[in-house]
Structures are given as C-alpha cells and as structure tokens.
Chains A and B, each alone.
Chain A
Amino acid sequence: MKALKIGLAVLAGAALLLLASPAPEAFHSGGVAECGGCHSMHSPKPGGNYLLVGTDGASTCLSCHMHAGDTGPNGYHIATAESDMPAGVPPLQRTPGGDFGWLKKTYTFTVRGTTTVEQGETHGHNIVAADTSFVADTVNTTAPGGTFPSSQLACTSCHDPHGRVRRTSSGTYTTGTTEPVMGSGSYGAIPAAGFTVGNYRLLRGLNDSHVTGVTFTGVAIAVAPSTYNRTEASTQTRVAYGASSINTWGNWCASCHPGMHSSGNYVHPVDQSLGSNLALVYNSYVKSGDLTGSSATAYTSLVPFAENTGDIATLAAHAKIDNSQLGGPGASDKVMCLSCHRAHASGFEYALRWNMEGEFMIWNSLYPGTDTTPSVPQFARGRLGAETQAAYYDRPVTAFAAYQRVLCNKCHAKD
C-alpha cells in the first residue's frame, strides 16, 4: 500500500509538473507525438517512405511549423510562407535558430559597376521540402567539411521526431524506453524520479546513426525560454547553451561538419574555453569604441556562448526574455558554432548572426539599406534598411555604435 501511495504521489507530482508546463511542448511533448500527425497506416504517400503522408520529411514538419498569414513571430513556426514575403519584406519569425524563409530571399546589388547576386540559398541550411518549395543547396553538394549529401538534408537530419534521447531525473541522458517521457526537455523541466523528458529540441545524440553516414556521438545541451519566437526590439531572448564532456555544441555540429571542427583542423576554435582574456573582452565590449561594459550585462544573443555546465537548473535560471539574465561568460565558458551561426537560417550569408560581407554592420547610425544608405551599397547588399533590422531581430540601431563593425569584435575587440 505504501508503494502504491508513493507511486500515486509521483504520478501526481508528474501531472502537476506537466500541467504547469508551457504550451510550446504541445504535440511532441518531448518524445514521439501522435503517430497520425505524420504517418498513415493505410493511406500514406504512394511510393514514399515510412508510411509518411507528406512528400518528404521536411514537408511533413512544415505542415505545422509554417503557415501563411502570420503577421509576426508566431509560436512554433520556424519559417515564413512565401505568400507573406513579397520583395522588400523580410521573414517574420524570430526563433533563435532563425527563419528558413531567408533561404528564399535573394538580393541583387551593384557596387562600383559590378553586379552581385546574393542567393537565398547561402543564408542557411537548405532543407529539402518539396511541398513548400525548399530545395537542396546547388553549390554545396555535401555538408561543408563533411560528406553528408545536401540532397538528403531535412529537419530530421538533426531532429529526431521520435525523441530517442531522453534526460532522466538525475540529469543523465539515455535512449532507454523504461522510463516514460513526461514532457518536453527544451524549457528546463526536470522530470520526477522514474520519468524522463525529451532532449533539447528532440535533437539527435548518444551515437544516433539513423542519418546516412553520420553519427551523433554526444548530446546537445541547452534550455530555451518557453516564449522563444519573439522580437528582440526591447529585450533579448536568451537561450542558455551548455557544455559537458563530449556533450558540446561543436562536437554535435561536427557530426555532419567534422572538417569544420577545430580538433585536428586549422579552423576557428570551437568547444574551447574562452580563457580569462577573451572572457574579459566579451564582458567589456559594448560596441565599437566602447569597452566600458561589465560582466553583469555583457550578454548578447548575437554572440551567445556555451556555459561550462550541463546542469539544467543552472541553465534554466539563465534562459530568460526579460533582460534579467545578461551575465557574460567566465573563463571556462566556451565558444561554439552557434556563437556566430544560427542553426536554421539567418538574414546573412552562411547563416551568420551578423553581416560579415563588409567591415561595417551599421553605417552613420543607420541600418544599411538601399533606401537608408544608398551611397554604400556594399553594406546593404540589396536589402532595405528594414530588412537589415529584421535580420538583427528588430533591435534599435542605438544598440550599436554609429559605425559598428562586425561582431567578431565582441570577443576580439579590434575596433
């Protein structure tokens, strides 16, 4: 009887935790969702795979994660429909990973008589979703620094729709199925004993090799605020990234991009501690020409870092949207791929968080644009000023110096 009471208490606690959880975890709830949301037992797509109903995996995902008619960042939408993006109108979503709609924004501009086309496909990961006209990268036929074929890139290349990786109540990760998944693990929930939550964003890990030629050895650790798809016009959205042993973001991205990882390759370091000097620079840097900052307010979501911890409670305390947690890095915190790149897509080439194709991000206290700064087209690169601002998640231009240089300087302060 005592065991039954304890069991009921655990269940009640779990139910309370689940009921108190925010809406973003709906449908997937940290694990395998309702099967009929993606598969059909008796009427799948003819000639398709896995009894999926959609043309392909990414098209299936976008059935829910993109919808025409949005007016701004909307819940779990991770792309803006073409119908809402006429020329001159930027994508609408502001998730930390970025809006795949940028892949469809191609810009043409002329500098000193030479016309350049910045193809939309350069703006991020080119998922293949035939139903919504997302096509494979035409330049990189394999993952840069790796061999994974671009023609196979889909949401499910990185995310596991069945949520194989789970986090236990003790903070360890498992792929076992003995402890039920009680909810999402993306927002800092800690499961009751005997239960698990999903891994962050259902990302693959723990030697997952379901994707052709790729093995995700470690786990990607992070906590997001429950309202994560939002403008940063007034306050920043802080995703608290973590790092612990092999569970680092660089190692995780290197599953497909091994040649881009610094281990054994002459490239920019990832997964390495900033050290006291670089941490000091990060914490002091406010904007070009201003090194008067402090560690209490140094954080910017345009240059996030990984905290040197895998402790979910610690990370959850930092995952805020109200600027209450803007603490900068310590010496042991780490630079990661996501310090400079967005995971999905951005308004700039190579999914970078800022425009690297020129020395200035801001010109004469203006977001570069064909309308705002026509005398320096090399900085606008065919965008309107409003499009550039959108790519910086709507920050007021006063967040930067009048002649702000690129954000490599957040860590290196050469400006």
Chain B
Amino acid sequence: MLSGSAALAQAPAAYLYSLSSFSGPLRDDGARVRVDAERDEVLVIYQNTIRVFNRSGMEFYSFGADLDLGQILDLAVEPGGDIVLLSYKDSRSLVTRCNFRGEPLGPIEIGGLPEGLAFHANRMVLRKERFYFASLAASSVIVTDAKGTFLRHVDLPSMMQPEERQRGGTEALGFSVDEEGSIFLTLPSVFRVYKIAEDGGLTEFGRPGAVPGRFGIVAGIAVDRRGNLLVADKLKCVVMLFDKDFGFVGEFGYRGPAPENLIVPEDVAVDRLDRVYVAQGRRRGISVFALAPR
C-alpha cells in the first residue's frame, strides 16, 4: 500500500477524454453512467434519455424519451445485448427488458418476495445472471435471478452497529456488486463503505478526513475486474482507488477547471479495459480516465 504522499506523486489514472456527441462534450449534471461489458459501449442516463457511446467516447444512438415507463432510474445490459431498464411509475418500481434499440420487449416481474417485503429500487446491477436491486434511501438490496424470482434480501441498517445507525442515518449514495456477488454501499453520513459478502459477512472501511484516502462525502462506487474499488468523493472532488483488501492505492481528479480535474463526481463506472467513467456536476458531463497498470 502506498503512503498518502506517494499516492499524490503517482496518480492512479490518466485523463483520456470526455464523452461527446457531434455537438461537443456532454454537459449533463449528475448523470448516471453504465458500461456494456460485452461490447465496450457506455450508456448514460439523463432526464429519461439514454445515450449510447462507442469505445471512442462518441454518442451514436439514443432512446428513452418516448417510452412510457415513468422515471428511468438505472439500466443493465445483458450479455446478449438486451437492455434492462429500472424505472418508477405510479408509485411502483418497474423492470422492463428492451432490445438493443431500446424497444420494450416486456416487463420482468419481481416475484416470490417474502411477506412484508416490498419491491422498491432506484439502482440496479446485473452480475452473473442475477439482478441486484438497491433502494439507496433504505440501504437495502433485493437479489433475484434473471427472471426476477426473489433470492435474498440484504438490509444494511439491521446489520450496522446501533450507534453507527443512529449517528448518521442510513442513506447510501453509491452501490455496486463485484464478480463474486459481494454488495458494496457507500454511506456518506458515516464516512463508510460497507461490503456485504455473498455469505452475509459484513466488512467496512473509511474514515473522515482531508488527507488522501480519507472520506469527505462518498458517493458512487465501482469495482474493476481485479476487485479494486473506485470510490467517488463529491466533496473532495476525487475518485479514490482501493485494493480489494481496502488498502488505499491513490486518488485522482481534484477540484479545478482542467480537463483532468473533477467537480462533484457523483457516479463512477469502470469497463473491462480499465477505463473509468466519472459523472460530474458543474456542466462537466462524463470524464473518462485510464487506470494506470499496477
């Protein structure tokens, strides 16, 4: 593990470009960004429109504006290319499978839920034919199979220490799942990242502070192909890189006007080519970085 000063000296990622259309760089504030691992494409959700970008970061397709699915919150791309949308309409969470053009094929009904457990989600991840649906406000996750049949429920607040729960509330701002099925949630009010393993084991890390590796307001989180964690910090305006044992590796971005800087990074994604996509505020759209070889 590198010390803080070493981390500063060697940034763990280099700026590549910003996602763009033929009109110029994207200027959306607070968009959500997802990757299609099979095709190395990137999908951005903003105001009910989904824009699709090629591996060079150029927009080549968009859809969603005329879908009657309510508020589109998240998406996942299946290995075959179908796109699954998570939306919210008439006080209900909806899951809809669409073809690669974004044309709805039909709903995925979430079934088999235990009595008393309602399906409500605003984030979704697809890993190894399992859907992970998160309600960030409640820091809870429902896991289903590819057909939407309930498998398990993770309720982070009930697993936290009472004093920790009391101290900061339980709203998560970031959610991800690694290849082993471990769930990650970031809780900014307690300056923590929580990992809930497939077997239910809970581990956590994070401390507040200004020095590299400490947390300000942690938001989006992503896991790369090696199990490293990328954690966006809205306040410090950096993305921090931790290894799979939660050891701090380094951070990049920092508030500023330069292309390689970040302002209020809120969401983060990483593809199999080690490119990191960071959604920001202040009309800076989505910046793309290349993780340094390690």
Query: B-contacting residues of A (Cβ < 8 Å)?
Result: 19, 23-24, 26-27, 34, 36-43, 45-46, 53-55, 59-60, 63-64, 67-72, 74-76, 81-87, 89, 130-133
Contacts and interface: CB of A to CB of B under 8 A. Distances in A.
Given A26-B169, A36-B208, A132-B29, 17 more contacts: A26-B189, A27-B169, A36-B209, A37-B208, A45-B255, A63-B217, A69-B136, A75-B169, A76-B169, A81-B29, A82-B30, A83-B28, A83-B29, A83-B32, A84-B47, A84-B71, A133-B282
Contact of A43 (B91, B208, B210, B219): B210
A53 B216 contact: yes
B46 A60 contact: no
B232 to A, nearest CB: 11
Contacts of A36: 191, 208-210, 214, 216
Interface residues of B, number: 54
B170 interface: yes
Nearest to A19: B166
Contacts, number: 128
Main secondary structure of the interface of A (DSSP, over half): loop
A38 B236 CA distance: 9
B264 interface: yes
Contacts of A41: 210
12 contacts: A26-B167, A36-B216, A37-B217, A40-B236, A46-B256, A60-B235, A63-B235, A69-B136, A72-B91, A83-B31, A131-B281, A132-B29
Most buried by A among B49, B65, B88, B93: B88
B122 A55 contact: no
Interface string B49-80: 10000000000000001000001011000000
Contacts of A19: 166
B282 A69 contact: no
Nearest to A44: B210
Contact of A132 (B48, B189, B264): B264
Given A27-B169, A54-B235, A69-B122, A82 B29 contact: yes
Contacts of A84: 47, 71
Interface of B: 28-32, 45-49, 65, 71, 73-74, 88, 91, 93, 120, 122-123, 136-137, 166-171, 173, 188-189, 191, 208-211, 214, 216-217, 219, 234-237, 254-256, 263-264, 266-267, 281-283
Nearest to A132: B281
A197 to B, nearest CB: 16
A69 B210 contact: no
Main secondary structure of the interface of B (DSSP, over half): loop
A68 B174 CA distance: 11
Contacts of A131: 263-264, 281-282
A64 B189 contact: yes
Give the top 3 A-B pairs by smallest Cβ distance, nearest first: A86-B47, A40-B210, A68-B30
Nearest to B175: A69
B260 to A, nearest CB: 15
B29 A43 contact: no
